[in-house]
Structure formats: structure tokens, C-alpha cells
Amino acid sequence: MALFRTLSAPEPLQPIVGEGVVLRGPQMADYAAWAELREASRKFLTPWEPTWPSDDLTRPAFRQRLRRYAEDMRTDQAYPFFLFRTEDNALVGGLALANIRRGVAQAGSLGYWIGAPYARRGYMTAAVAALIPYAFTTLRLHRLEAACIPTNAASISLLEKTGFEREGYAREYLCINGQWQDHLLFARLKDSPRR
């Protein structure tokens, strides 16, 4: 049955164009801009992310990250993207469809981050809106899931603006900033109305 067929990874990721943004696969040439933005945004991102390894922003760690991304795509486990502002090609953040589950689920989890200088300017909303059709059409997913810490009002707003609906509450769901944190659970289905 076609429902149970898996999808082989597309090669390579094609850029996805959204309103004022472009999503494309990370490349080694992105290292300097990525490391600079992550370092400049460390204080801003720390409350919402897993604890960073001590070597996280080094070139060898970035190279290893790219190898992991390539393997994840090859095995249809995850699809990472960097987010660029169209007007000047500035790297502003990143997002990924991860934890891809095939078979009867056809689901994946959405994760994202935005650099501090670019927060609350609509870039991530535009990126998620552009990624949704890719997830449902190219990757043939049926369900997208996302989770966020209950105090992250910006993330809640982003998910609601892009058509995700709140489905539940998970206690100590993910280890964020060194502590097990409760999360709100959201999902969007393939046939959900477009916003």
C-alpha cells in the first residue's frame, strides 16, 4: 500500500522561497555567519534550547553537524534548513523537520531558532509558512508536530499564526537549558485550513 511506502531523501535540498525569506540546506560556507549569529544570540537562545556543548561554535563541530545533517537526510530522519533574509541574504535563523516517522504515522517534528537581532520581525513566521507545503507535498507527511515551553509567548504565537493547534501538555518533555521542562504540544494536519 502506498500509505506504508517510505520516501527516499531528495538530493540535495532545493531552496524554499517564502515571503521575504529563503530556506536552504546548511553548507560549510555558512560557518562564519552561523557561529557569529549564534554567539551574538547565546543569551537570547539559552532559555529555549538544550545546553550547548563547550565546542559547539567551533569549525570542527560545525563540520560534524553537517555530516549528521547529511546522514539524517539520507535516512529520511530529518531535513535541516538555514533561514536567510531575501533583501541581503543575511542568515537570520534555522529550522528543521526532524524525528520523521513513516509507516502509519507519516509525521515529523518542527524545530526552529531565530537570532536575537531578527526576533519578532516575522521572518520565522514566513519561514514556517513556506516550509509547511514542502512538508506535506514533497515529504508527503500527514502531520507536523511542535512543542514549546509554556512561557515562550513568541513561539506560541508563531505556531498559532501558522495554523498549528494546541493538543496537549507534556510534563518534563525535553531537557532545555539543563532542566527537564514541561511543554505545550501543537500539531498541524495536512488537511488543516491554510492561514
DSSP string of 147-162, one letter each residue:
EE-TT-HHHHHHHHHT
Domain membership of residue 195 (yes or no) is no
Per-residue model confidence (pLDDT) at position 13: 79
Record the pTM: 0.90
Distances (CA, A) of 34 to 28, 42, 124, 133: 10, 12, 16, 26
**d(C-alpha 166, C-alpha 73), whole Å:** 28
Contact 70, 16 (CB under 8 A): no
Domain membership of residue 170 (yes or no) is yes
Which tens digits make up the pLDDT trace of 161-190? 999 999 999 999 999 999 999 999 999 999
Per-residue model confidence (pLDDT) at position 6: 47
Number of domains in the chain: 1
Domain membership of residue 7 (yes or no) is yes
Task: Give the CATH number for residue 116.
Answer: 3.40.630.30
